[in-house]
Structures are given as C-alpha cells and as structure tokens.
Chains A and B, each alone.
Chain A
Amino acid sequence: MTVFLKMSVSVTFLRPFTKILVPFTLHRKRSIYSTVLQRCMSSKIPAVSYPDKESISPPEQLELDGWKTTMKSSVQEGVSPVLNKDEDTLAATRELIEMWRLLGKEVPEHITEEELKTIMECASKTSKKKYLKFLYLKEKLKKARQIKKERKAAAKEEAKKAMLLETTEEDKQQNFPFLRVWDRRINIAMNWKGVQAMQFGQPLVFDMDFENYMKPKELQNTISQLLESEGWNRRNVDPFHIYFCNLKIDGAYQKELVKRYGGKWDKLLLTATEKSHVDLFPKDKIIYLTADSPNVMTTFKHDRIYVIGSFVDKNMQPGTSLAKAKRLKLATECLPLDKYLQWDVGNKNLTLDQMMRILLCLKNTGSWEDALKFVPRRKHTGYLEISQHSQEFVNRLKKAKPSNSFPKGSHVHTEKVA
C-alpha cells in the first residue's frame, strides 16, 4: 500500500528523468520505471521519513556550511605594526579581555591604561579574573546609577513643569514660622553636641595600629566603616568622644581618611592622635573589645574606655587584636552574642559601624535586646528566650550596683523590664 502511494507521488517528480530515459528503454518501459523509481525511492525515502537529516539534498548541505565562507572572507581589522614587547603584551591583554567579553565573561567593557597595568601586575590568573570581575561590577553599577540619574532628572523636569502650571494659580503667601534651612540647622546642632562630647563625653577609642595586617582593599573598607561609625555617633543624642589612637601621620590610614573627608578632616569633632590609648588613659580603665576574648561583656560601664580595633580581617588572622591586648595587658571583652542570639552563619566579628551603633544603644538604654538589633539579621535566626530566673538574676545585679548611669538610660531600661 505505502509503496503504491509513494509511487504516485514520485512519478511527478520523475517526469524530467523519464523524458531522458525513454529513448533508451522504451521497450521495457515498465521495468525501467520501476528501477528508476526504486533508485529514486531509496534515496528519497530517508528524506521523506526524516525530512531534515544529514542526507538532505546537496544544495541544503551547502547551506549548512555557507556561513563559513562569509566568515572567512570578512577581513579582520588591519594588523597593527609590530610594537615593542611591553606594549605588545598590553595590547594582547586588552584583546584578551575583549574576547572574554565577547564570550560573555564578567569583564569590563572599557578599561583604562592604569587598570590594565594593575591587571598585568596580578600574580595569578585567579587574581586577574577577580580584579576583572570587580571592574565589571563597578562599571555595571556606574551605568545603572547613570541611568537612574537621567530618569530622575527627566521626572524632575516634568514635575517642575506641572508645578509651574499649578503654582501660578495658587496663592504663594502662607505663614511659616521657619525658613527652610533644616540641613544647616541640624549640622549646627550636631556640631554643638559634638563639642559637648569633646568636653564631657565618654571616650571611645579606635585603635589604628593594624596597618600592616591589611591589604589596600581591606584598609579602604575599614575607612568606609570608620566614616560610617563617625556619622552614627554624630547623629546620636549623646555622642561618644571618639579617639583615633595610634594614627600615624602620613600613614596609610591617615592618607585615606584625609582623602575621604577632604577639607572636613581638620574640622572633625574627634581626637586623632599618634599616641597609644595606654598613654592617654589609665590602663585599668581600658577594655579592649574583641570577638576572640574569653570574657563576655555583661553590662556597658560608663566609666570605662572601650577600644575597638579598626581592622577588617578578610585574610583569616584570628587572634590579632587579642594578641595586641595581651601584649599591653589590657582587659578584653566580647559582645554576648551567643547569650542573646541564636547564631546561624557568619563570623562574630561585626563591622565598626555596627559596633558603634550597638555601643551607642547600650549607652543610652542599657538593653541588650535593643542594642543587638544592629547585628545583621542574616547572621542569626532570632533572639534566645532568656529564662525568667536569669532575667531576675540580671536585674538583681543591676540593682545592687550603684548606678552611675545616666538617669535617662536607666529610666528607659526599667520601663523595658517592667
């Protein structure tokens, strides 16, 4: 059945052939027809049953390879003249990065001469790729910000137009008690508080003696965190008097700080000194805060000087700050993270600004639950239930102590407990 069906189909196909064939095989027309048919079918059958397998007719096969000729024929950009070796490797690196970009790897689109040199200086392939990825992300962020900025500007423009239309009709005359100079007022108020803190505030020391333990990247992160901490402190109701101790003049810290703060550096309301904290304060009053400490901080003491190491450790050097405290024979403490939080992931070293906010909160309210809300949420699964008994025990301890804490702080605290 099927053969017959196909026969009828292929007959039409065979017409041109038959015309040629006829003179030779007229007397055996039938048989010739069948042989030709057969031959034809043997070549056609696969084509019919799998319409697009490799044995497609020659013209189609050519089409599969057609792109090759065009690709080959297209001329490459003019070959640059032979450069000296250094420039050659630079160019080669640039081309390599470009090819990587074509491949969809995470590399920046534009790259400066300077960055290229940094790449060449990278010791290993991995560090090269890491740096390229960093540049890529930087570029991406910059682009996104640019786009956002443009969109905002456009929106503003439109809003302005709309405003213009509206305000023309409205009466502008209204009674306000103040001029709109909020920002400046706030700044002045904060500076006033800062001056107060410089005179009467509790000292909080940032130990800047970790220059040699950090790579440039980590140092930059440290400075960012310091900036942030300083900002949090400035905005607080009752700021600390911040000390930057062991800050070497023209050291890496100082340079970076001056670069970030610019002209403001000299007007900051904090004490930056080359002296060590042990020279400035009595040793028995100093408490060095480090996550490696075996002693757990139970309460915030208002007559102590807390020292925070301004140190971002991405290089796994545990015990560095503890060793510092041991050398100077200082008391150490760590935050009672395990006591209050169900710790999940991440290490217990918190960033400087988180430390600052926790300490500020402790200073003002004395409540651990409140203070520890500044611990990143991803690091723990929640607060631990503290049994009634231990809670009472803590309260008794607190009551037993002569309160030298601020009245406001203790007030808030008792309210909380009750």
Chain B
Amino acid sequence: MTFPLSGVRSFPNLWKCSPYFGLSPGHSYFFLTDYCGVRNQQRWFSLKRMSPQSTKATNVPIAKARYLRKGEEGSNKQMSFDSPHLFAAGAAKRRSQMNPQSKDHVLSPVKNSSIQLPEKPLDSKEWDKLKEDFQGKANFENWISSQMARCHSPINVAKSLLAWVAAKNNGIVGYNLLVRYLYLCVFHKQTSEVIDVYEIMRARYKRLESGGYSLLIRGLMHSDRWREAVMLLEDIKKVMTPSVKNYNDCIQGALLHQDVNTAWNLYQELLGHDLIPMLETLKAFFDFGKDIKDDHYSKKLLDILLYLRNNQLYPGESFAHSIKTWFESVPGKQWKGQFTTIQKSGQCSCCGKTIESIHLSPEEYEFLKGRIIRDVIDGGDQYKKTTPQELKRFENFVKSCPPFDIVIDGLNVAKMFPKARESQVLLDVVSQLAKQNLQLLVLGRKHMLTQRFRWRKDEMEKVQKQASCFFADDISEDDPFLLYATLNSGNHCKFITKDLMRDHKACLLDIKTQRLFFKWQQGHQLAIINRFPGSKITFQHILTYDTVVQTTGDSWHIPYDEDLVERYSYEVPTKWLCLHQKT
C-alpha cells in the first residue's frame, strides 16, 4: 500500500525530465481526440528514456502507480472543467490539493504532562502531595489551574484547589487563579458561581482587566443581573474599545431578557467603533425577530441585510436558515425561501430572476481607473515599479492603439507549462485568439526579445504580427501596465493571467476601492485552465453576476457560506438563498 504511494510522490520529479514534444497547433487537435493513445505512448517512451537516469523508474510497480496516477489526473482535469470559476468558494483549496507537493501536516498530539489532572476534589493533603510530585519550572498553582482551564475540569476540583490555596494563604486567592476559576464556571455555565466570583472581584479589586471583564460579561448575561454586565462593558470602554465578542455577549443577553432597545443601542455603538459585528450577533437579531411582529424591528433587520451587502459579508449556513425562517414568519407577506444556486447566465435556478450584473457603474469604473493609476502604478514613487519615461512611452503607446479586446500577460501565459518552450506557448495562445478577430495586446519584458533557447526570435516575430506588443524594462513590473491597459480600453476588455493580483489589490489604500477592484477583477479576468500544452485553450468562465446580498423589493437573494466548504478571502460563495413573495 505504501509502496505505490511513494511511487506517486516521486512521479512529478520524474516527469519533469521528460521532454516536451513541440506540438504545433495542427497537432493539438489530434492530441485532444486521441488523447489516451498519445499519452500512453508518451508515457512508455519517457519511461524508457528515463531508465538510464533513474533505476527506480524501471520498477514495474512504480510504472503501475504512475498509471494509476494518470487516471487520477484525468479525473482532476474533469473536475477543473466542472469547477465554476476562479473565485468560487473552495476553488483555491481544490487547486492546492491538485498540487502533489502539498502534504498535510498532522498535528502532533498534545504532549502528556507528568501529572494526571485530578478528576475529583482533593483535600489539602492530597494537593500537597501533588505539588511535591510536580517538577516543572512554573509555579505549581499557576500551572495546574491553567491546565485545568484547558481541559475543562469540573468546577468542584477547581474549587478545592482554590480552597487549598486560600487555606495556605490566609484566605487570599490570587487574581490569576480566580480568573481561571471564573473561566471554568462560565464554561460549565454555573451562573451562581459566576455571581459569587463577581462579588468577590468587586469586593477585592477596583477594576479588572479585559479578560476578566469579558468572562464576567459572558457569565452574567444569562443571569438576572445582566444589566450589571452592561455596566461592566462601560468599565472596559474607559480604557479601550471592547471587543466584538463583548458586544456580542451583551446583545445576546439583552435579547434573552427581551430588552430590544438596549440590544439595538449596543449594536449601533458597535458599528460606531468601526468594528465588524460577529455574524452570530446578527443571527441573534434574526432569531429573536421570529417572535416579534413589529414593523420597526423588521426594518432594522432589513438594515442588517443591507449592511451585509455593503460590507460584502456572507452569512453562514445556520444564519441563512435563520434569515429564511424569519422571512417566512413575517405575517401577511407570505415569503417563500429556497436554497439554490445561480446559473452561469446569472439567473436564479429557483425563481428565474436575473442577479445583479458584475459590471461596475460608469462612475465606479472611472474611480477605480483613477485609483489604479494613482496607487498601483504611481504609488508615490514612479521609480518603484517603472520609470516616468517608460510610463510616458506606455501611455503614448496605448493612446496610439485602438481599444483592445484582450490584454495578455505574456510572461504569465508563457510560463504556464514548465516543460514547454515559452515563446511557443505564447504564440499558440496569441494565434488562437487572433483567429477570432480580437484586438490583442501582449505585455512583456524586454528580455523576451533577445534570442535564446526558450525565446525564439521567429516565434516572437509572429506574435508581434498578430498582436500589439509592449515590452517593459526587465526590472519594471508588468502587472500594473496590464491593469491600466485593460481599464483604459473599456468595459468589454478582458485580461488573461493566472495571477490573482493580490499584491496589487493590497496597494489600493481603502477597503472600498479594494472591493471595487475585486468586483472588476471577477468580471474581467480570464484564466487559462489547460493542463497540457498544445491543446485548444479553454478559459475558466467569467462570472456575469455579482455575488452579493441583493434585493428587488419583493425578492431577496443572499449568498451564503456552507459549513463544510473552506472559503478563502478572495473567493465568493456559490450557494444562495432565494426569497420571494408568493403572488
């Protein structure tokens, strides 16, 4: 079992040695149709070639493993064709899994400590004995209490520890032990104990620190003395901004005790601090809303949905369920909610309505263009990414050309297949696109023009015939030019690169512009997804609709995150909640 596996591991390295058969576009068709046959021949051939270099490769089991691997790769390829788009939730995860180098690191189990944590309350003699057994560097009381907090020991055990410490220490227990005990009480939801500790802390200390306050707030919110927790929040505010968790606890507590006004006030305050509320907080409002039939409250809930829209937040799965339940509970409106997906055309599979377009409005477009020039290309120092002379040259060049349909990142495209010759790949892509009568621009660096093994002059000349080309200095960055050329050509223009442009997005200073950039990028970036050189190029399809919470008054479409899908920050969810009124 393990042997073939190691064979699989070694495979990519072996494969690198195999030569690329320079297939011209004419052959590529054949390549696709008779894919299996060619692959097989090539495989055996390369195996034979490999044998003098690596004795391992002659092993039949390994060859078998490689064959298996081939099948796997094929299925992967199938998957990549199915995969919705470059920015779909989970796409990056899948890409990383396709990469054989990545190995999951299994977390080593937590190291065993020499001392078994007591499971029952001990008396002082037993504690004394345990202390003698302890051989760590740390303070025993400190260490054992933090271990107990980590393992969620029963509070009786913790209490017996405190009693022992107090007995040794004239009835005084240190603040750190007290806080850890409080943590256990809160964890085990022992409200009466929490209140006891609260009394003690109030008697002993004038003020606490943020950790203690947070625990007290969390513990007290479920008791009748929840208003005091709101007072504690005030205490925190004197020194620093409370965390979103503090607000979350307070709001949840207020809702639990039916005090809607306090909850909304706290929510407003939270927004006022420029904090992004936890989705749980928002979910709590929706959950509570089921029992309230009040127009004012409903309006505020809709405001929350708009907040999600404006900040490009997506609810989680359970939150989506809460939203659905709340809408369906609104009397008289007869909302109907369904979980669905959006078709490639941008229509909701459930109600057939068209989702908002991904294209920016003209004002947004102009704004983004200005910002790209100012922040990404210029960035305060034109010499950092380019030179003023080069910028001038580029601007003149762009002005002299008609608007482009597609801008190609020459180096990114050319280096798509490590085995293939760069200029050949670039020529393939350019000539295929040129056949469709598209106005092309190829961006590159000057070194691409010098005759070398990997950059053949004749091929580059062919590229220059079929497309307009601009070559930047070798030490300049070409991506900013790509962005500028695409934006300058207008809304119809797309760009080809596999680069996710995260570093350039980061150059944009405020989060709003970054979102605009991301939206524009989703709508205009073409990524080539071929896994083999020479075959007809296929692009990952571009989103036509914007993934954002949206409404048309009598319908809502809300994208949400599935619990089991890991979404990266530059990806968008693929699942939607469609809400519409029955007519």
Question: A residues within 8 Å of B by Cβ?
Answer: 50, 52-54, 63-77, 79, 88-89, 92-93, 95-96, 99-100, 102-105, 125, 128, 294, 319-320, 322-324, 326-327
Contact = CB atoms under 8 A, between A and B. Distances in A.
Contact of B160 (A50, A64, A69): A64
A89 B238 contact: yes
A25 B493 CA distance: 105
Contact of B384 (A52, A128, A294, A323): A323
Interface string B202-215: 01111111111000
A326 B387 contact: yes
B239 A74 contact: no
A68 B384 CA distance: 65
26 contacts: A63-B163, A64-B121, A64-B160, A65-B196, A70-B172, A71-B166, A71-B171, A71-B200, A71-B203, A72-B203, A74-B203, A76-B203, A76-B205, A79-B206, A92-B207, A93-B239, A99-B205, A99-B207, A99-B209, A102-B174, A128-B240, A319-B385, A322-B383, A322-B384, A323-B383, A326-B475
Contacts of B199: 72
A296 B241 CA distance: 50
Contacts of B174: 102
A323 B123 CA distance: 71
A99 B216 CA distance: 15
Interface in B115-155: 120-123, 126, 142
A294 B123 CA distance: 72
Contacts of B173: 67, 71
Contact of B475 (A63, A89, A322): A322
B475 A74 contact: no
A65 B159 contact: yes
Contacts of A294: 474-475
B156 interface: yes
B171 A92 contact: no
Interface of B: 120-123, 126, 142, 156, 159-160, 162-163, 165-167, 170-176, 179, 196, 199-200, 203-212, 238-241, 381, 383-385, 387, 474-475
Q: List 6 tightest A-B contacts by C-beta distance, closest first.
A: A70-B171, A67-B166, A99-B209, A323-B383, A102-B175, A323-B384
A28 B406 CA distance: 107
Query: Which residue among A73, A99, A327 has the maximum number of chain B CB atoms within 10 Å of its CB?
Result: A99
Contacts, number: 113
Contacts of B159: 64-65
A53 B239 contact: no
Nearest to A316: B506
A320 B384 contact: yes
B120 A103 contact: no
B379 to A, nearest CB: 10
Contacts of A74: 171-172, 203-204
A326 B163 contact: no
A374 to B, nearest CB: 27
Given A53-B120, A89-B238, A294-B474, A319 B384 contact: yes
Contacts of B475: 294, 322, 326
Contacts of A327: 383
Nearest to B126: A52
Nearest to A329: B387
A9 B576 CA distance: 72
A307 B381 CA distance: 20
A105 B383 CA distance: 45
A93 B176 CA distance: 18
B163 A67 contact: yes
A50 B123 CA distance: 13
User: Which interface residue of A52, A88, A93 has the most chain B CB atoms within 10 A?
Assistant: A52
A50 B120 contact: yes
Contact of A66 (B163, B175, B205, B381): B163
A54 B163 contact: no
Given A68-B200, A89-B239, A104 B212 contact: no
Specify which of A54, A67, A75 lies most central, judged by the most chain B CB atoms within 10 Å of its CB: A67
Contacts of B162: 67
Contacts of B165: 67
Contacts of B172: 70-71, 74
Contacts of A128: 240
B200 A96 contact: no
Nearest to A326: B383
B121 A104 contact: no
A52 B381 contact: no
B121 A103 contact: no
A70 B166 CA distance: 9
A249 B167 CA distance: 66
B209 A96 contact: yes
A103 B175 contact: yes
Nearest to B121: A52
A298 B409 CA distance: 33
A343 to B, nearest CB: 19
A256 B505 CA distance: 37
A54 to B, nearest CB: 6
Contacts of A104: 142, 176
B535 to A, nearest CB: 35
A21 to B, nearest CB: 32
B378 to A, nearest CB: 12
A387 B167 CA distance: 74
A294 B160 CA distance: 68
A80 B249 CA distance: 31
A413 to B, nearest CB: 32
B156 A67 contact: no
Contacts of A63: 163
